[in-house]
Structure 1
Amino acid sequence: MDYLYDGSFEGLLTCIYYHYYEEKASGIYPKEHYQASLLAGFKTIETDAKKAARVYEAIERKISNFDLRRIYRVFLSNDGEKENKILNYVRLGFKEGSCISSLHSNPIVFQAQQCEQKVSFEVHRLLGLVRFSVLKYPDELFDFKREILYCILEPDHDVLELIADHFSDRLKNDPFIIYDKTRKKAVFAQGGSWYLSDFQESDLPELSDDEKDFRNLWKEYFETMAIKERINPRCQKRCMPVRYWKNLTEFH
């Protein structure tokens, strides 16, 4: 029996609950993208916060907090089989306990590690690739009038919340928006606190009057600091993949 869920982490944990307390799941899939098969039945599982919390606490208690964080990072990946990789990891974790993270040669653990590493690596990259622009104040977002920092990202994985703490801690005096264009959602931050919300580019205010001047200054700085004799396109593309360039100020 395939279990279908709403795409949320709580929904996935609810499916794992039903896997143990009702019928074993042959697979777990987001209902939005599921293609029914003639060979297997399917059932839509409604998200239940209490059931999800029981699974969450069981993973933390019977496996480890480290593995709980790993499972969540796998969930944030864009892997098409992430739900089933998580289900397999949880099943193995309930058998092996906290030592599961040391079973590097186990295919189930290895696949989860790969997903986690891809997410973590992209987070590391984006912490250095975020470029903020200055926008005029939109009344409905913040409680005092000032300009707002804004950035567009198109990450491979769903990493907004993994970078939010970093920037909200460093920009406590500057409200900002980081927009994930791929997933149509954004981080809104002010005073060291942040939250996630759905967002559309049409909701954006205009650029500030000085923004174009600052962009030109940044491009000049980028070109002036570069040492032409040491330019290495291959290294540049490896450390700063081309897919990120369209959202980097210095390349426009």
Structure 2
Amino acid sequence: MVDYLYDGTFEGLLTCIYHHYYTEKASGIFRKEEYQSTMLGGYQEVETEEEKTITVYEAIEKKISSEDLKRVYKVFMSSVANKETKILNYVRLGFVKGSCVSMLHGDPIVYEVQQAERKVNGEVHRLKGLIRFSELGNKVLYSPIEPDHDLIEFLADHFCDRFKNEPFIIHDVKRSKALIAYQGSWYISRFTKDELSPLSEEEKEYRRLWKSYFENMAIRERINPRCQKNLMPVRYWKHLTEFQL
């Protein structure tokens, strides 16, 4: 058995799974830049190959299910430890059990993948309510976020439906990438704050008014910091307009 090292892309991961079946069994799959070799076994660097990627992609969809393919992708976009090996084990089990694999809740392989997917879905749900947009001078709506998981594309449909006729950017500052959308179409691109226009004058005034409203409408006797932090974790406060000047 061998550890496979890949380039960090979903396509690269699927290529490694291909080699698990057609070259040599994998003891684990790891990103090249994060791998620490041991004395217990060898490793092999894998080049991403489109044909092998497509073969595994279609096999998961046909032999397991399209929903499990989506699950595998969400887990890949998560930040959970050893996600690649967890995905490999889940796919291996799925090829044996078929579409019923997702119902094996008591299986530790399935449980780990379900938990990882739940973490991504939970943060997506939370951000749908916490994301705040500001208007830039060029009339584009902009929101910076720093999510635990790599999930901005999972926000696309929700906000494209909400802002059907307005251009907007959801910027994952931590990963220097952004969801850029207008009139229902969207794409993911590398992005930095250097590319931003300044806030519009109207936005600056709205921020001042909103902060004033937020501070003055609160009933001091009913403020519950513990409840507030449970519903709106502190790690998200940095980008909430009501906490900014």
TM-score, normalised with respect to structure 2: 0.96
Question: Matched residue of 1:202: which SS?
Answer: helix
Shift of 1:225: 4.1
- Name the amino acid aligned to 2:58: E
Task: Tell me the equivalent position of 2:195.
Answer: 203
Q: CA deviation at 1:122?
A: 0.1
Q: Distance in 2 between matches of 1:55 and 1:224?
A: 57
Partner of 1:80: 81
* Partners of 1:42 and 1:250 in 2: CA distance: 50
> For residue 169 of structure 1, what is the amino acid of its counterpart?
D
Identify the match of residue 149 of structure 2 among 138, 141, 157.
157
Matched residue SS, 2:201: coil
Q: Would you say 1:249 and 2:221 are equivalent positions? A: no
| Alignment-mate amino acid for residue 198 of structure 2 | E
Kindly report which structure 2 residues correspond to 1:24-103, keeping only aligned pairs within 5 A, or say none.
Answer: 24-103=25-104
Letter aligned with residue 212 of structure 1: K
1:175 corresponding residue in structure 2 = 167
2:204 pairs, out of 208, 212, 227, with: 212
Which segments of 5 or more consecutive residues in structure 1 lack a partner in the other structure? 138-146
Shift of 1:224: 4.3
- Worse overlay, 152-161 or 65-74: 65-74
Structure 1 position 187, deviation (Å): 0.7
Map residues 183-194 of structure 1 onto 2, 5 A cutoff.
183-194=175-186
Question: What is the identity percentage for the equivalent residue pairs of Structure 1 and Structure 2?
Answer: 63
SS in 1 for 2:36: coil
Q: TM-score, with normalisation over the residues of structure 1? A: 0.93
- The size of the alignment, in residue pairs, is 243
What amino acid maps onto 2:237 in structure 1?
Answer: W
Equivalent-residue separation in structure 1 for 2:93 and 2:218 (angstroms):
51
- Kindly report the root-mean-square deviation, in angstroms, between the aligned alpha carbons of the 2 structures: 1.2
- Matched residue SS, 1:26: strand
Distance in structure 2 (CA, Å) of the matches to 1:70 and 1:225: 42
Matched, 1:239 2:231: yes
CA displacement 1:49-93 (0-9 Å, x = unmatched):
221111111111111112111111111110120000000000011
Residue ranges of structure 2 left out of the alignment (5+ in a row)? none
Deviates more, 1:20-29 or 1:33-42: 33-42
Question: Is 1:10 aligned with 2:11?
Answer: yes
Q: Tell me how far 1:37 sits from its aligned partner.
A: 2.0
CA distance in 1, matches of 2:80, 2:147: 13
